[in-house]
Chains A and B, each alone.
Chain A
Amino acid sequence: MEQAIEQIQNEALKELETAADPKAITAISIRYLGRKGKVTQLLRSIAGIAPEKRAAAGQKANELKATLAKTFEDALLQFEIKSADAIDKVDVSLPGRPAAAGSLHALTQINTQMCDIFTRMGFDIAEGPEVETDYYNFEALNFPKDHPARDMQDTFFVSDNIVLRTHTSPLQIRTMEKQSPPVRIIMPGKVYRCDSDLTHTPMFHQVEGLLVDENISFGDLKGVLTAFVHQMFDDRTSLRFRPSFFPFTEPSAEVDILCVMCRGTGCRVCSQTGWIEILGSGMVHPALFETVDYDTSRFTGFAFGMGVERIAMLKYGIDDIRKFFENDYRFLRQF
């Protein structure tokens, strides 16, 4: 009996040495300790041994069972420790992973470029609230209540008298109320209109300019805008001033630039006209000066306003304004 026990133990240990992975160990364990395993069978055979030897044999067999169980368990544990070690191993000599660097949004870049051009010409930056009163957004800008000119801008009303500003023009009044001429300001900011398609989003950005002083004429307006367009695009980009209407300027003009895509020969971008509208402008309406108590016999001024998205679309050849606000990484990373 003792011989049999020793033989089984040796066989088991030998087999265990060949086990390459935890699965193999479990298989061996089942072969010896399982329901039909060799040790189990040995234990069953003890019943047939002569009573006087039975106790000692039983004890030995049980010892064998315990020893093997412990051995298999230890072997499994060894594997676990080994594989855990492999995972935890840190190669401290590897170079660090670089953090992805972001970039300024295309609109921020264009906005900065536009403001830079005007600040170099001597304009100061002015900013103001995006939630405005009807007075500053319309009334003081010579849009009387119930005037059809209000239809020109689809307005978000917060209440009867509060709106999301439809243009940055309220800042003209806010600035002139606080300051005497000369006024030379550039007003960048978000504006809101109830409109959404390929070329309109409910929120967009404007850059507006206002210059009031003695002897300011439409000629100065043309000069400043021409200098701006030549720096923003290039000096081959000519301008066309087309008569138009805004309640807060008189005379008013929309400004077209020679199509940046086809250079005036006509293409899809300019609807075959050779010209692209980029901004509205004009001489400040005397009604505004009266509102802010400026002497209309002494001072004249001009104002202009343009969409940042529009300029950015022309600069980068983007055909859908909504791309600016979808935050698609593949779009944003190009700027």
Chain B
Amino acid sequence: MKVSLSWLKDYVSIDMETEHLAEVLTMVGLEVEAVSDRWNYLNTVLVGRIEDIRPHPKADNLQLCSLDLNSQKINVVCGAPNVAKDMLTPTALPGTIFPDGSVLKKTVIRGIQSEGMICSESELGLGSDSAGVMALEPSSTVGQKLVSSLGLSDTIFEIDLTPNRPDCLSIIGIAREIAGIQKKRLRYPTAGLPDSRNEISGVTSVTIEAPELCPRYAARLITDIRIGPSPFWLQDRLMSVGLRPINNIVDITNFVLMEMGQPLHAFDFNRLAGNRIVVRTAVDGERFTTLDDKERILTKDVLMICDAEKPVAVGGVMGGLNSEIETTTRNVLIESAYFNPVSIRKTSKKLGLNTEASHRFERGVDPEGTITALNRAAQLMEEIGKGRLVEGIIDEYPKPVTTPTMTLSVKDTNRLLGTRFSAKKLKNC
């Protein structure tokens, strides 16, 4: 699992050097396999000053820009509409590997040699603006590396988690470990939602017909949402841990998944027949097309999330194409549930579908974290999607999961470890 150091710092202050943090995490059982510099790929991108702009002799919509990089001058063919003389802009040199995977090479564009590329925010993975090249502060130093100029720094830890630690399958999960190591408080994000009325139960309902497989299912409804790209900070968080931004609603569910470890699903509410959710097992031979556009043939032990008429998602594994969020979606039902780990694992194996959601559900998600994550997503959708929250929450919990009580015997601990710890010492560990 990829973990961003700067994201961790949203929840816990870290007073250790990166290298030391990696070692400490490894020594508490969260093996850090690799530590990398998030912005490494921008090392061949420099601050350039546009010295001169001439029209391309053979193409009306291209221009030739001469760039001053302090130590050298290069010529670049460019199609951006916003280039101006003396503008400072990020200049990528040949060999740069962009976030989309393409490698920059010296090329000839319509007969003219281009020795580099001046870039937009989105091309560099630094923003969503792709309309023109990125304009840098006039006070930036020409020839300096872009990362230094913008003060970009983040470290990505690749952590190999053992199957007994599903509690660490999120940024907050790892932050909680760090807080424990440093004996510091963890800062949980708070969601202040106006919930004075129970408006939602008049609009939709959830019926669980298979409580063994789905002990808890909670939902909220947001209306009048505007679907669009997420703000950059949100896209940036997702990209930092290797996820691709899609649209604001999907991005928010993925963000909360990564932040809290609770998989969520967003349904287009208007596409749910009867405007309600029924949780049941599939019928042998039932056919269903998942979000990846593949038709699946189901068996009677597969748990399905359905509307009044048809399945709309493979519970805890993958959503369906028929209720997917589209650009025209206005109303969104957010699902936050707790599914039976064994059932999810069997379904995931049977369908050959291993997703971020199934990976967590089969290892065990916190059944008490369902509502926190749901509220967090609802609040972000209200804020970012400019939606209206339908007040109230649906929380069907027919099979309460009892939290086991663990007893730790001081005597047995010492017997097993060959130590002589006192009860007081063990308590303070």
Please state if B345 and A242 are interface contacts (CB–CB under 8 Å).
no
Please state if A148 and B27 are interface contacts (CB–CB under 8 Å).
no
Cα A147 to Cα B165 in complex, Å, equals 13
Please state if B418 and A148 are interface contacts (CB–CB under 8 Å).
no
Q: Does A300 contact B (CB under 8 A)?
A: yes
In the assembled complex, 21 residue pairs joining A and B whose CB atoms fall closer than 8 Å, in A order, are: A146-B342, A147-B345, A148-B163, A148-B345, A148-B363, A149-B163, A215-B415, A217-B416, A217-B417, A217-B418, A218-B416, A218-B418, A219-B417, A219-B419, A220-B418, A242-B26, A243-B27, A243-B29, A245-B29, A245-B165, A300-B415
Count of CB-CB pairs between chains A and B under 8 Å = 47
Q: Does A152 contact B (CB under 8 A)?
A: yes
Please state if A218 and B417 are interface contacts (CB–CB under 8 Å).
yes
Q: Does A151 contact B (CB under 8 A)?
A: yes
Q: Does B287 contact A (CB under 8 A)?
A: no
Cα A217 to Cα B412 in complex, Å, equals 10
Q: Within the complex, what minimum Cβ distance (angstroms) separates B368 from chain A? A: 21
Residues of A within 8 A of B31 (CB): 242, 244
Residues of A within 8 A of B341 (CB): 148
Partner of B28, one of A147, A148, A218, A243: A243
Within 8 A of A (CB), among B404-427: 415-419
Cα A125 to Cα B160 in complex, Å, equals 34
Q: Within the complex, what minimum Cβ distance (angstroms) separates A259 from chain B? A: 15
Please state if B416 and A245 are interface contacts (CB–CB under 8 Å).
no
A-side interface size class? 10 to 19
Within 8 A of B (CB), among A129-162: 146-149, 151-152
Q: Does A283 contact B (CB under 8 A)?
A: yes
A218 nearest in chain B by CB position: B417
Q: Does B9 contact A (CB under 8 A)?
A: no
Number of interface residues of B (CB under 8 A): 20
Q: Does B362 contact A (CB under 8 A)?
A: yes
Give the one of B26, B163, B416 with max A CB within 10 A.
B416
Give the one of A148, A152, A243, A283 with max B CB within 10 A.
A148
B163 nearest in chain A by CB position: A148
Known: A147-B345, A218-B416. 12 other contacts (CB 8 A): A146-B342, A146-B345, A148-B163, A148-B362, A149-B163, A215-B415, A217-B415, A217-B419, A218-B418, A243-B28, A243-B29, A244-B29
| Residues of chain A having any CB pair with chain B under 8 Å | 146-149, 151-152, 215, 217-220, 242-245, 251, 283, 300
Residues of A within 8 A of B162 (CB): 244-245
Cα A152 to Cα B163 in complex, Å, equals 8
Partner of A245, one of B26, B164, B345: B164
Cα A244 to Cα B28 in complex, Å, equals 8
Q: Does B346 contact A (CB under 8 A)?
A: yes
Residues of A within 8 A of B415 (CB): 215, 217, 300
Q: Within the complex, what minimum Cβ distance (angstroms) separates A92 from chain B? A: 69
Q: Within the complex, what minimum Cβ distance (angstroms) separates B155 from chain A? A: 15
Residues of B within 8 A of A149 (CB): 163-164
Residues of A within 8 A of B417 (CB): 217-219, 251
Q: Within the complex, what minimum Cβ distance (angstroms) separates B323 from chain A? A: 28
B363 nearest in chain A by CB position: A148
A152 nearest in chain B by CB position: B163
Q: Within the complex, what minimum Cβ distance (angstroms) separates B36 from chain A? A: 13
Cα A243 to Cα B405 in complex, Å, equals 23
Please state if A242 and B416 are interface contacts (CB–CB under 8 Å).
no
Name the 9 nearest CB pairs between A and B, nearest first. Answer: A217-B418, A219-B418, A245-B162, A243-B29, A148-B163, A245-B164, A146-B342, A218-B417, A149-B163
A253 nearest in chain B by CB position: B29
Cα A244 to Cα B27 in complex, Å, equals 9
Within 8 A of A (CB), among B24-78: 26-29, 31
Q: Within the complex, what minimum Cβ distance (angstroms) separates A254 from chain B? A: 8
Please state if B163 and A151 are interface contacts (CB–CB under 8 Å).
yes
Residues of B within 8 A of A151 (CB): 163
Residues of A within 8 A of B419 (CB): 217, 219
B166 nearest in chain A by CB position: A148
Residues of B within 8 A of A147 (CB): 163, 345
Q: Within the complex, what minimum Cβ distance (angstroms) separates B349 from chain A? A: 8
Please state if B29 and A146 are interface contacts (CB–CB under 8 Å).
no
Q: Within the complex, what minimum Cβ distance (angstroms) separates B72 from chain A? A: 33
B344 nearest in chain A by CB position: A146
Cα A283 to Cα B26 in complex, Å, equals 20
Q: Within the complex, what minimum Cβ distance (angstroms) separates A270 from chain B? A: 13
Please state if A242 and B163 are interface contacts (CB–CB under 8 Å).
no
Cα A112 to Cα B165 in complex, Å, equals 37
Partner of A146, one of B164, B165, B346, B418: B346
Residues of B within 8 A of A217 (CB): 415-419
Cα A147 to Cα B349 in complex, Å, equals 12
